[in-house]
Amino acid sequence: MHDIEDSPEELIFDKIESNIYKGNALELPIIGSEKTVKKVSPDLLRNHISRKYGFNNFFIVASGAVEHKKLINLVEKYIDKDFGKAYNARKHIKRQTNSNEFIYKDIQQAHLILARSTYGLISKKSTSVSLLSHILGDGSSSRLFQRLREKNGIAYQINSFVNFFKDVSSFGVYFSTKDQSVERARELIIKEFKKLRNKKISEKELNRAKEYLKGSILISLESTTNRMMRIANSLIYYGKVKTIDESIKKIDEVTTNDIFLLRSEEHTSEL
């Protein structure tokens, strides 16, 4: 917990999501606070599990060298009672304009995030959001990396990000630079966002992002753990196991116009 406070790169992400999801459970940091951790007791933990974990949200997922019948037998042997029904209702999030927040630390660099909420994972537009993030700031060929690091040399680190939840996500740009370059870096980032708002990206740029996204999915399948997590997430968010072909098809269906409309209809001139 104290490690996060001493790590600007981690602390700033906690703070921005607390800001974006203010008034909702999503604003709370997963690790908790000293106050909440000190209150945890065996009874509190057991009560939480009984309320939040039930057969209606309980999945057993396996991948790799697994014999299906043996797994079923183990489940029937060790899970021999009804867990009941869990109640995990979360308030619907009102997407809102964010306020600025500043945290002073006695360090040499400035760490900043420009972010807002956008479409969640189950939205038809989630794939467009992922592609937009890649085009903007994922990798050395991205627009922001080229503009801020290669051409102007004013960012130690810069990348875009999307943190998906089922019905909402946080989308933004993280960068670190020296104090004197903060405003210049911010101006250049805003210019890139405005470019996307005013002009469609090229087919070539979109296709490059698509191939990267598809490649990332396929490479991740080399890990049995990733395969397992992919199945579990698919069941939780979509109620079924989405095939790889379905995911690839969704990526291929995105057009340059989809990216342009995403910027035009959804975001302000800044984000």
Q: What percent of the chain has pLDDT over 90?
A: 60
Model pTM above 0.85: yes
Residue 132: the pLDDT is 95
Q: What is the token pair recorded at 262?
A: 């995403």
pLDDT tens across 101-111, in order? 777 777 888 99
CB-based burial label for 232 (10 Å; 0-12, 13-18, 19+): middle
pLDDT of amino acid 98: 61
Q: Is-contact 156 182, C-beta < 8 A? A: no
* pLDDT recorded at residue 103: 77
pLDDT at 133 over 80: yes
pLDDT for 99: 62
Asked if the model's pLDDT at residue 203 lies above 70, the reply is yes
Place of tokens 């800001």: 19
DSSP H stretches of helix in the chain: 2-5, 8-20, 34-39, 42-52, 68-78, 126-137, 143-144, 182-198, 203-220, 224-238, 244-253, 256-266
Please determine, for residue 269, whether its predicted confidence score (pLDDT) is greater than 50. Answer: no
pLDDT at residue 268 in the model: 47
Q: Is the pLDDT of residue 46 over 70?
A: yes
Q: Strand, coil or helix: what is 84?
A: coil
Element (H, E) at 159: strand 157-164
Q: Please give the pLDDT value at position 48.
A: 87
The pLDDT mean for the chain works out to 89
pLDDT tens column, 69-101: 999 999 999 987 787 888 776 677 766 666 677
Query: 93-107, 120-134, 204-218: which has the minimum mean pLDDT?
Result: 93-107
Neighbours of 236 (CB within 10 A): 13
